[in-house]
Amino acid sequence: MAATLCGRLLPKSGWVPLTQNVRHGSKAVTRHRKPLHILKQKLLAVTEYIPPKPRAPPEALVPRRKWTQMEHPLANLLRKDLENVFEENKLIVVVHYNAIHTDDLTRLKLRLKKHDIRIRFFPNQVTRAFLNNSIYCNLLPLVCGKTVLFISKQAKVKEMLQTMKHYPEMVLLGGCVENTLMSYQGIVSYSKLQSIGVIQGQLVSDLTMITSQTHSLLRHHPVHLSALLQQHVKQKEPVDVDDTVGQEAAA
Amino acid sequence: MAARKAGLALKVVNKIIIRFCPFEPNSRSVREFLTLVTSRKVRDSNKKCEIVTEVKHDSSEPAVDITFLDGEQLIMKTKNLTSKEMILALQNVCIAKEPQGKPGDM
């Protein structure tokens, strides 16, 4: 078979087939990505496409407009309302309120209304925005969580405390009474104060008592001296009598 | 885990005293804790549990004093605690004390 094939493949006689020592070289088509020849790598690196850099957009050169948050109109309205509340009312108290039945809250509102005390709810954001820019900024720490304001045009603190005793869900934190910031203890001691008329009467009576004592004060020293001298005389009298009796007996 | 998901229950708690100074900024977490503990669900879990609030003005640190039915006391100084941490701590103690709680729950 080999002889017949050789005869067909090699038509020229006397022609020795080429002896080619074929080395097992690498294939051109491989299943994996073949690493590039170093020269080809260099060529590709040098001739790599560099896209042109886009110019900076015009907005990048000018500073961006900052979006300032506009105050919500309702918040603005509530803040102005709160300003009026602080101006018109003598009693403004911050109260922390826990879960309370609606019926209980209604009853509390009615009982307070008898003493002209109203309950007002303001969002904390609005209250903080107002207090930050006002003279009442020390009330800021109180406004946190669930808070409510008790306001009144008259400073009926005693009645307010008596009503709140029956509602332990409402916790009094502090407030502003007659333009004076007070803590809970301050409000309690304020409630124990008597009315102005009574205090004025007490002051007048104390002053008159002092002035009435002037006469007795002036007379005090001479009276005391005379009393002492009288006592001295009384003590000396029996000694004198005894002396005279003793002298007569000796004689 | 099921007990934790159910929320805070005050069945084993006798009394809770919450002391804070509202003018101090560190009393925020205590006030949140007070709001959570006095919520309807938690209060309904034990209506006999007394919750007392003491408002002070002496720059003292806020504290929560919890007395349990078996006489044990838990005092939490809440200056650097969040309300969630306080609730978790109380919940853990309540679960441990509950007679129905299984020991292998944790």
Work out how many domains chain A is built from and give that number.
1
Distance of residue B32 Cα from the nearest chain A Cα, in angstroms: 7
> A65 pLDDT band (50/70/90 cuts)?
confident
Domains of chain B: 2-95 (3.40.30.10)
Identify all chain B residues contacting A168, using CB atoms and an 8 Å cutoff. 53
Q: Is residue A7 part of a domain?
A: no
Smallest Cα–Cα separation from A97: which of A83, A108, A84? Answer: A108
Between chains, do B57 and A185 touch, taking CB under 8 Å as contact?
yes
pLDDT value of position B86: 92
CA Rg, chain A, in Å? 55
pLDDT value of position A61: 77
Between chains, do A171 and B27 touch, taking CB under 8 Å as contact?
no
Element (DSSP H or E) covering residue A213: helix A196-250
Q: Is residue A77 part of a domain?
A: yes
Identify all chain B residues contacting A169, using CB atoms and an 8 Å cutoff. 38
* pLDDT value at B6 more than 60: no
Structure tokens at B106: 């944790």
Q: Between chain A and chain B, how many beta carbons pairs sit less than 8 Å apart?
A: 50
Between chains, do A142 and B23 touch, taking CB under 8 Å as contact?
yes
Element (DSSP H or E) covering residue A216: helix A196-250
pLDDT value of position A12: 60
Q: Which of residues 141-170 of A touch B (CB under 8 A)?
A: 141-142, 144-146, 168-169
pLDDT value of position B59: 84
Under 8 Å CB-to-CB from B75, ≥6 apart: which residues?
B63, B64, B65, B66
pLDDT value of position A248: 57
* pLDDT value at B103 more than 70: no
Rounded to an integer, the average pLDDT of A59-86 is 86
Q: Does A186 touch chain B (CB under 8 A)?
A: yes
* pLDDT value at A1 more than 60: no
Q: Is residue A171 part of a domain?
A: yes
Distance of residue A80 Cα from the nearest chain B Cα, in angstroms: 25
pLDDT value of position A124: 92
pLDDT value of position B101: 45
Which residue is it, tokens 């008898």? A114
What phi, psi does A91 have (nearest 5°)? Answer: -115, 115
Q: Is residue A249 part of a domain?
A: no
How far is C-alpha B87 from the geometric centre of its chain's CA atoms? 6
Rounded to an integer, the average pLDDT of A161-190 is 92
Residue of chain A with shortest Cα separation from B59:
A183
Residues B15-45: pLDDT tens digits?
999 999 999 888 999 999 999 999 988 888 8
Identify all chain A residues contacting B22, using CB atoms and an 8 Å cutoff. 94, 96, 141-142, 173-174, 183-184
* pLDDT value at A9 more than 60: no
pLDDT value of position A13: 66
Structural domain containing residue A138 = 73-193
Q: Is residue A242 part of a domain?
A: no
pLDDT value of position A17: 67
> A15 pLDDT band (50/70/90 cuts)?
low
Distance of residue B104 Cα from the nearest chain A Cα, in angstroms: 35
Structure tokens at B79: 């200056």
Element (DSSP H or E) covering residue A82: helix A73-88
CATH code for position A114: 3.30.70.1730
Identify all chain B residues contacting A184, using CB atoms and an 8 Å cutoff. 22, 55-57
> B104 pLDDT band (50/70/90 cuts)?
very low
Identify all chain A residues contacting B23, using CB atoms and an 8 Å cutoff. 138, 141-142, 174, 183
Nearest by CB: B38 against A94, A169, A186: A169
* pLDDT value at A25 more than 70: yes
Element (DSSP H or E) covering residue A233: helix A196-250
Identify all chain B residues contacting A138, using CB atoms and an 8 Å cutoff. 23
pLDDT value of position B4: 44
Nearest by CB: A144 against B31, B55, B57: B31
pLDDT value of position A205: 92
Distance of residue A124 Cα from the nearest chain B Cα, in angstroms: 13
> A58 pLDDT band (50/70/90 cuts)?
confident
Distance of residue A148 Cα from the nearest chain B Cα, in angstroms: 14
Which residue is it, tokens 């969580």? A145
Q: Is residue A25 part of a domain?
A: no
Q: Is residue A162 part of a domain?
A: yes
Q: Is residue A106 part of a domain?
A: yes
Nearest by CB: B55 against A141, A168, A171: A171
pLDDT value of position A57: 83
CB B18 within 8 A of CB B53: yes
